[in-house]
Amino acid sequence: METQSSIPFLLRISSIHVGILRSDFLYDHSMRITFMGYINGRMRGNVRIIFLCVVSVNFGVGRAAMVMFRREFGIVVMMDILEVACLILVTGAAGYIGSHTCVSLLEAGFDIVAIDNFANSKPEALSRVQEITGKTFSIHSVDMLDAKALDAVFAEENMEAVIHFAGLKAVGESVAQPLRYYENNLVSTINLCKSMKKHHVNKIVFSSSATVYGAQEQVPLREDMPIAPVNPYGQTKAMIEQILRDIAVADDQFGAALLRYFNPVGAHGSGRIGEDPQGIPNNLVPYVAQVAVGKRAELTVHGGDYDTPDGTGIRDYIHVMDLAEGHVKALSWVLNHTGAEAFNLGTGKGSSVLEVVHAFEQASGVRIPYHIGPRRPGDAARSFADPSKAQQVLGWRATKTLDDMCADTWKWQKQNPNGYGE
Ligand SMILES: NC(=O)c1ccc[n+]([C@@H]2O[C@H](COP(=O)([O-])OP(=O)(O)OC[C@H]3O[C@@H](n4cnc5c(N)ncnc54)[C@H](O)[C@@H]3O)[C@@H](O)[C@H]2O)c1
């Protein structure tokens, strides 16, 4: 399989200058044609490319040809090239992973268009993305269930690719409200794919999840293992993966990177953006952070009798900025490839619940009270990724440690005890 690809930019020629140079030299060869191309830098903005073509004609006969008088004509072509960044549609951009990925995309030189219906996020997150990066972008407050409104964004903006984060993500809620999950996650994706087809946008990076593997006991989890989701949320992810695979079969120009995230935690190092769960957090680290900041009394650990060193469940936690970088790599890959490929985005290393609690205590200097409760149905003892495919194909690997994840979560939580506020 091919490996990593560079980030493409669109190049537009804004002006061309042509000139003729003439100079006299002494040379010891009879005829020479030189073609040289200089590329002056590869910065955004105006780039000047100079091509210098030198035609040399030597005059001389017999012995005189050894050292002779030479005429040299040069044709210089200068092109001012406007380097225009690829425009990427980011759906669910104001959400936790979306907002961090927007930062990485902008810093990597992509331009973005953001869509969100703010069902589980606040516009403030996007204001802070602009603050962190010093870059602006257009924001569309659109519910992707509204096919017409979504299509109007495609008609207005000229995107090269889509990163599709938008979706509902709470496993327990999906069990209680399956229809809402199937409708929101599937219909919004179908609307998206229809608009992509209509507007000839054929590259997508999709937020899938390790949830598609179900409660498999075999670890590490590899992309070629059979998938077996055990709840409606996981089913929507598996179904969307299948939809994208089917489109890739039908359309040989279509490319999809199906990113199976493990357990994203942490926040941007500035402490300005982070995870802002509505109500009681569903995930361990935001819950621990809220206990540390005094918003919740104590943590319930779901199961202390698993077959693991300390009896608590083991998961693969990944820093959200590592995950964001994974999207930049996946986007660069998908822009240069066709077909649909799944990639695990995890560290390949598992941490137990109690290891996370202790790392968070270290990072925050705050003791986290907890008690061990019963196991949750459907939870596996261990779940962690084999991330080697993403390493080999995308050239991506996670670099941040559990301590980094806890330190950055704590910074965000301390600076923003009420998240983005009202
Ligand atoms: N956070 C995780 O632990 C995790 C793990 C695996 C996969 N994922 C997936 O990654 C994606 C992003 O997750 P996140 O943690 O950032 O979630 P999030 O809830 O913070 O972000 C999702 C965003 O999508 C928006 N949205 C939902 N339905 C929409 C619709 N119909 N139209 C427009 N916007 C809509 C929400 O308002 C929210 O801003 C989701 O698809 C999620 O399922 C998340």
Q: What is the pLDDT of residue 48?
A: 57
Q: Are residues 77 and 140 in the same domain?
A: no
Query: Which residues form the domain of 332?
Result: 86-415
Q: Are residues 325 and 277 in the same domain?
A: yes
Strand order in the sheet with 68-85: 9-27, 68-85, 45-59, 31-39
Q: What angle, rounded to 10 degrees, do the helices at 353-364 and 284-292 form?
A: 40
**Which atom of ligand 1 is the closest one to the Cα of 184?**
31
Q: Are residues 70 and 93 in the same domain?
A: no
Q: What is the pLDDT of residue 234?
A: 97
Ligand 1 centre distance from Cα of residue 167 (Å)? 4
Q: Are residues 121 and 31 in the same domain?
A: no
Per the domain annotation, does 1 fall within a domain?
A: no
**Which atom of ligand 1 is the closest one to the Cα of 188?**
31
Nearest alpha carbon, ligand 1 atom 7? 209
User: Which residue, of 20, 49, 84, is where some domain finishes?
Assistant: 84
Specify whether the backbone of 77 is left (phi greater than 0), alpha (psi in -120 to 50) or beta: beta
Ligand 1 centre distance from Cα of residue 189 (Å)? 12
CATH code for position 200: 3.40.50.720
Q: What is the pLDDT of residue 29?
A: 38
The residue to mutate among 89, 97, 101, 113, having the most atoms of ligand 1 within 8 angstroms of its beta carbon, is 97
Per the domain annotation, does 420 fall within a domain?
A: no
Q: Are residues 153 and 110 in the same domain?
A: yes
Q: What are phi and psi of 289, to 5 degrees?
A: -60, -40
Q: Are residues 95 and 77 in the same domain?
A: no
Ligand 1 centre distance from Cα of residue 92 (Å)? 6
Q: Which residues of 306-317 are buried (b: 16+ CB within 10 A; e: fewer)?
A: bebeebbbbbbb
Per-10-residue mean pLDDT of the chain, 422 residues long, equals 52 61 44 38 47 60 52 62 80 98 96 97 98 97 98 95 97 96 98 98 98 92 96 97 98 98 98 95 94 95 96 98 98 96 98 98 97 91 97 98 98 95 78
Nearest alpha carbon, ligand 1 atom 2? 264
Q: What is the pLDDT of residue 40?
A: 33
Q: Are residues 223 and 319 in the same domain?
A: yes
**SS3 call for 265:** strand
Per the domain annotation, does 331 fall within a domain?
A: yes
DSSP output for 274-296: ----SSS-SSHHHHHHHHHTTSS
Ligand 1 centre distance from Cα of residue 406 (Å)? 22
What CA–CA distances, in Å, run from 168 to 139, 208, 349?
20, 12, 27
**Which atom of ligand 1 is the closest one to the Cα of 233?**
43
345 Cβ contact list (under 8 Å, min separation 6): 259, 260, 261, 262, 318, 322, 323, 326, 385, 387, 390, 396, 398
Ligand 1 centre distance from Cα of residue 78 (Å)? 47
Per the domain annotation, does 3 fall within a domain?
A: no
Per the domain annotation, does 421 fall within a domain?
A: no
The residue to mutate among 207, 268, 273, having the most atoms of ligand 1 within 8 angstroms of its beta carbon, is 207
Q: Are residues 347 and 281 in the same domain?
A: yes
Per the domain annotation, does 4 fall within a domain?
A: no
Nearest alpha carbon, ligand 1 atom 39? 95
Per the domain annotation, does 291 fall within a domain?
A: yes
At 312-348, the pLDDT tens digits run: 999 999 999 999 999 999 999 999 999 999 999 999 9
The residue to mutate among 169, 187, 316, having the most atoms of ligand 1 within 8 angstroms of its beta carbon, is 169
The structural domain count of the chain equals 2
Ligand 1 centre distance from Cα of residue 81 (Å)? 38
Q: Are residues 298 and 373 in the same domain?
A: yes
C-alpha 341/C-alpha 254 separation (Å) is: 11
4, 331 Cβ separation under 8 angstroms = no
User: Which residue, of 28, 60, 84, is where some domain finishes?
Assistant: 84
Say whether pTM exceeds 0.75: yes
Ligand 1 centre distance from Cα of residue 356 (Å)? 24
Instruction: Ligand 1: list residues with CB < 6 Å.
Output: 92, 94-98, 115-121, 143-145, 165-169, 184, 188, 207, 209, 261, 264, 283
Ligand 1 centre distance from Cα of residue 118 (Å)? 10
Nearest alpha carbon, ligand 1 atom 36? 120
**Which atom of ligand 1 is the closest one to the Cα of 263?**
3
The residue to mutate among 90, 96, 189, having the most atoms of ligand 1 within 8 angstroms of its beta carbon, is 96
Q: What is the pLDDT of residue 150?
A: 98
Which residues form the catalytic set?
233
Q: Are residues 95 and 65 in the same domain?
A: no
Q: Are residues 44 and 158 in the same domain?
A: no
Nearest alpha carbon, ligand 1 atom 38? 95
Query: Token digits for 84?
Result: 């225009």
Nearest alpha carbon, ligand 1 atom 21? 95
Q: What is the pLDDT of residue 248?
A: 98
DSSP output for 104-166: HHHHTT-EEEEEE--SSS-HHHHHHHHHHHT---EEEE--TT-HHHHHHHHHHS--SEEEE--
Per the domain annotation, does 50 fall within a domain?
A: yes
Parallel/antiparallel/unpaired status of strands 68-85 and 9-27: antiparallel
Name residue, tokens 């199976």. 260
Q: Are residues 228 and 315 in the same domain?
A: yes
User: Which residue, of 39, 56, 84, is where some domain finishes?
Assistant: 84
- Cβ atoms within 10 Å of 81's Cβ, excluding its own: 19
